[in-house]
A and B are shown apart, each in its own frame.
Chain A
Amino acid sequence: MLDHAVWVRILGTVIVAAPALFVLLLGLAALVDRPLSERAISRLGETVNLVGLTASIALLVLMIAFDSLIEPINFGTWVHIPNYDFTVKFVFDRLSVPFVILSFVLCGTIGAFASRYMHREKGFSRFFALYSLFLLGMTITSLAGTVETMFAGWELVGLSSALLVAFFHERPAPCRNGLRVWAVYRISDAALLIASIGLHHLKGHGEFSQFLGSAPWPDGHCVLQADQVFLIGLLLIVAAAGKSALVPFSGWLPRAMEGPTPSSAVFYGALSVHLGAFLLLRFSSLLELSPALGVIIIALGAVTAAFAAFACRVQTDIKCALSFASLTQVGIIVVEIGIGLFYPVFRYVALVHILGHACMRTLQFVRAPTLLHDYRILENAIGGHLSHAVDPGAGRFSERMKLRLYRLAMERGYLDAVLDEFFVKPIVKFLKLCDQLERDWIQWLSGGKQEPTVEPRPRATRATVTLADDNV
């Protein structure tokens, strides 16, 4: 008979290995150019989610049965040199287990939905390859027991999300939006990386238990000094803001709706958008050391919720409206987390809010393509048109002010425009100037003989036919 610890280890390994195997199989098939059939991919996805979910629930039951609040599983030190360790460790506690169960439930639901929704779509295999990467990233991030492991999962989620935004890549708009999402995610990743390096320096190790305390979440007591955590806390807030589309990074969320509906539902409506909040919850015992950080988090959440609720009112397509509705709730969740830094019970409120909101929003997103159909059914049932509620405060504003507010909401508070105009454009302009100066410098050095281009374009089909022969 296996004892409790062995069962925990087996189940924990299955939870992490199932999505990893999914990525491996789809990745190998793509690399050797032997794509799996739609049926095989769907079955594989269903099996992985089912196995992962069953193992997660079994682990939860085991933890409840043995009255265990935290179960760390150490996969060993992958790299060890003096003064530097890279440990792969996963932690199962009251934060990570609900989150990983949520991930498997929603990813499983969306996987089943997508296998029909994406049927005979050209990029079916590509969608599921990215979906598998996302699932792996979510699992690693949720269960990470070290800051480096969390960073690895965090990056996987970012990459798969950005590529799924650009899924319909024959059109330029999804690609531009995918690039923007990626750029914001890189800022978020950079902030998390610097924070993790800072933590590594302070404690000489990246294990959460080393600086968040060994008590199970949310009772951990951070062992760092208050003055040490402020800068690191700010970086964590930036990382969370980028991932959860909080102000001023909110611009990417509606852009992310360019992706296929299943990915919008599970990524930007449910899981990915809550990952920033998850990060803040995970580090809550560190953030609580500095009251200023608590105030910043509350303010950031409140501003985001207000902004999203404002912009949501005028959106003209259902997915964008849902994305802002989702952001409103994320803002409120962040406020709850901020309050939770002063009153710890609110951390549970935030966690429950995340779980409920993610499930509800996923349902709304997957129903979005059939919105008009649903409206018709509703109207047939009530025997008339649905009422269009008028905002009660609308009468207080003049027509001109209403128009201004409408434009402000329509342009999403000009957040993207402000970032582009005052941040991106000056840098790009400067870089282009440097590039031109370099060209002139090389031209001068080479005595004016520098040729601007390199290889000529292959001229006729004959050349390309030769290339094709050559390839064989």
Chain B
Amino acid sequence: MTELHLPLLELAILIPFIGAIVVGRLRDPYRARQYSVWITGVTFLCTLASWQDFNLLNYKLADDPIHVFRYLLGRELFVIDELSAPLLPTAALIYFLTIVTTMKTKVRRFSFSWSLFSEANLLAMFSCRDPWFLMVFLALGTILPFIELRTRGRPTRVFALHMAAYIILTAVGWALLEREGLNQPHSLWALSPLLIAVFIRSGILPFHSWIRNLFETATFGSALVFSTPLVGAYVCCRFVLPVAEESVLHNVGTVALVTAVYAAGLALVQRNIRSFFCYLFLSHSSLVLVGLDVVQHTGLTGALCVWLSVSLAMTGFGLTLRAIESRFGDLTLTEFHGLYEHTPALAVSFFLTGLASIGFPGMMGFIGTEMLVDGAVETYPFVGVAVVIASALNGIAFVKAYFMIFTGKRHSSTVSLGIGLRERLAILAVAGILLLGGVVPRYIVSSRYAAAKELLDHRSAVLNDDHSDAVETGHHEGEPSPKDVNELDDD
């Protein structure tokens, strides 16, 4: 392990944490929003810089140069590795965009202070590799939606039941594995508590009800920041992937595949935009889980690419729906609304982010989806075709929603409902990243391949089971260095 040049990682966690305290003391919600925009913006820059700093180091693992936690706990708490490096700026960007696009009508309803706290917690979670501390951060992460539901007088039972089960099962599951010994493959029964925890957090059948409930009862912004970073996939990568038998992972992948098709189908028949978004998101996030469980380089690399693309695209898609909802209230998808003439920019944003989410050519997710399908078909020869079916259904569902919301009739309004500068900039930022990632995919794919390789190598090391054949571990001309010699010693 090496050190970053600057303590960017801890700064990225500390800034929103202190920001949460400062903003919590402000009584004026407009000032709170203003402060939050700056705080999340600086946090995003810190995470982006830490990612670039990590890339420059060319090591598999790095920590901050100031070792506060080493003095306090005897070991480093926050580290950056191949898996988490791009997840940190992605998560920070999700919070930044959500806060930037929060409109005046929403500022009294949306808690900036809790959001900043939740951002600090999420970044801490993505930076932590210690299982027990990770579980603490996972538990803390569930607080924001719960408090918001309570504050707004919405029913909390569904959310609380699922989250309590998720936290308890994660802790019990890991304790069981530690008791059995981590350096061996674990059977389905030994892994059951952890698997159910992953299923719950990822919204895999039949544990997905809480996501729909959350989207229908919480503010859209809070539901978005809680869901789109795909914490369930992260839990799977950290807790399950390194220790599960290959057959167990394939079973998990099959269930995720069923969920992807089922959720895509349900997205087609939804009657309001929030539940539609929820199922569309569930389908995409399940596809990521399918790729994570194929235990093969191409599929895993594809899943990690799709993870980034889905996080960003679905955030952009969700923010567009949120902006529409702010202007027109809860729209049904059973009739045409014809909003295109009033909000053409939102229509374009809706379409671009929707296309990006389904991995359309020229968008960030295109190559990732191709690789994911490739890996899935190789692992589950005929069942893997369901990935393509899910993707096709998602495409139909989102275009159907587009037609319902933006076309079909002439909407009359006496005032301008166009988007403002902040929303436009947010849309441009998301669209720019998604298009750039599509036109120049090499950088992201190389980075995700390195992460996939590290995950599978780690798994092989833990299980003493070599999954990386000679061809797949080979270094190829023109590729960035796989960082595989000197850093192993440091590890």
Query: Is A418 interfacial (CB 8 A cutoff)?
Result: no
Instruction: Give bound CA distance, A166 to B351, whole Å.
Output: 14
**Contact B418 A82, beta carbon cutoff 8 Å:** no
Q: Mark B142-176, 1 if CB is under 8 A from A, else 0.
A: 00000000000011011001000000000000000
Q: Return chain A residues, CB-CB under 8 Å to B327.
A: 458, 464, 467
Q: Mark A168-198, 1 if CB is under 8 A from B, else 0.
A: 0111100110110011001101100110011
Q: Return chain B residues, CB-CB under 8 Å to A159.
A: 355, 360
Query: Is A324 interfacial (CB 8 A cutoff)?
Result: no
Query: Is A455 interfacial (CB 8 A cutoff)?
Result: yes
**Contact A170 B423, beta carbon cutoff 8 Å:** no
| Chain B positions 414-456 with a Cβ under 8 Å from a chain A Cβ | 414-424, 428, 431, 441-442, 445-446, 449
Instruction: Give bound CA distance, A171 to B297, whole Å.
Output: 48
Partner-binding segment picked from A37-45, A392-400, A441-449: A441-449
| Chain B positions 221-274 with a Cβ under 8 Å from a chain A Cβ | 262, 265-266, 268-270, 272, 274
Instruction: Give bound CA distance, A445 to B449, whole Å.
Output: 42
**Contact A446 B268, beta carbon cutoff 8 Å:** no
**Contact B407 A169, beta carbon cutoff 8 Å:** yes
Q: Return chain B residues, CB-CB under 8 Å to A456.
A: 329-330
Query: Is A215 interfacial (CB 8 A cutoff)?
Result: no
Partner-binding segment picked from A5-13, A107-115, A309-317, A426-434: A426-434
Instruction: Give bound CA distance, A458 to B324, whole Å.
Output: 11
A-side interface size class: 35 or more
Q: Mark B319-348, 1 if CB is under 8 A from A, else 0.
A: 000000111111000001010100001001
In angstroms, how far is the closest chain B Cβ from the Cβ of A463?
Answer: 7
Instruction: Give bound CA distance, A441 to B265, whole Å.
Output: 18
Q: Return chain B residues, CB-CB under 8 Å to A451.
A: 154-155, 216-217
**Contact A454 B325, beta carbon cutoff 8 Å:** yes
The answer to whether A442 and B158 touch (CB under 8 A), given A31-B428, A78-B441, is: yes
Instruction: Give bound CA distance, A151 to B157, whole Å.
Output: 47
- Residue in B209, B340, B423 whose Cβ sees the most chain A Cβ within 10 Å: B209
Query: Is A389 interfacial (CB 8 A cutoff)?
Result: no
In angstroms, how far is the closest chain A Cβ from the Cβ of B295?
Answer: 14
**Contact A190 B392, beta carbon cutoff 8 Å:** yes
Contact pick for B209, options A32, A189, A441, CB 8 Å: A441
Query: Is B104 interfacial (CB 8 A cutoff)?
Result: yes
**Contact B414 A461, beta carbon cutoff 8 Å:** yes
Contact pick for B391, options A176, A182, A190, CB 8 Å: A190
The answer to whether A457 and B415 touch (CB under 8 A), given A201-B378, A431-B269, is: no
- Among residues of B, the one whose C-beta sits closest to the C-beta of A200 is B374
Query: Is A3 interfacial (CB 8 A cutoff)?
Result: no
Instruction: Give bound CA distance, A449 to B149, whole Å.
Output: 13
In angstroms, how far is the closest chain A Cβ from the Cβ of B298?
Answer: 5
Q: Mark A190-213, 1 if CB is under 8 A from B, else 0.
A: 100110011011000000000000
Instruction: Give bound CA distance, A84 to B452, whole Å.
Output: 14
**Contact B471 A79, beta carbon cutoff 8 Å:** no
Partner-binding segment picked from B53-61, B62-70, B125-133, B362-370: B362-370
Q: Mark A382-422, 1 if CB is under 8 A from B, else 0.
A: 00000000000000000000000000000000000000000
**Contact B213 A450, beta carbon cutoff 8 Å:** yes
Q: Return chain A residues, CB-CB under 8 Å to B377.
A: 194, 197-198, 201
Q: Return chain A residues, CB-CB under 8 Å to B483.
A: none
Contact pick for A187, options B329, B374, B392, B472, CB 8 Å: B392
**Contact A470 B103, beta carbon cutoff 8 Å:** yes
The answer to whether A80 and B478 touch (CB under 8 A), given A31-B348, A170-B338, A451-B155, is: yes
In angstroms, how far is the closest chain B Cβ from the Cβ of A292?
Answer: 21
Instruction: Give bound CA distance, A405 to B465, whole Å.
Output: 68
In angstroms, how far is the closest chain B Cβ from the Cβ of A279?
Answer: 16
Query: Is B486 interfacial (CB 8 A cutoff)?
Result: no
Contact pick for A83, options B297, B373, B391, B431, CB 8 Å: B297
Q: Return chain B residues, CB-CB under 8 Å to A449.
A: 155, 157
Q: Return chain B residues, CB-CB under 8 Å to A442.
A: 158, 209, 212-213
> 22 A-B contacts, Cβ less than 8 Å apart?
A30-B348, A31-B348, A81-B297, A81-B446, A84-B298, A86-B441, A162-B399, A172-B408, A176-B403, A179-B403, A193-B370, A197-B373, A198-B377, A201-B378, A431-B268, A431-B269, A438-B209, A449-B155, A454-B274, A458-B326, A464-B415, A468-B415
Residues of chain B touching chain A, judged by Cβ–Cβ distance below 8 Å, are: 103-105, 154-155, 157-158, 161, 209, 212-213, 215-217, 220, 262, 265-266, 268-270, 272, 274, 297-298, 301, 325-330, 336, 338, 340, 345, 348, 355, 360-362, 366-367, 370-371, 373-374, 377-378, 385, 388-389, 391-393, 395-396, 399-400, 403, 406-410, 413-424, 428, 431, 441-442, 445-446, 449, 471-474, 476, 478-479
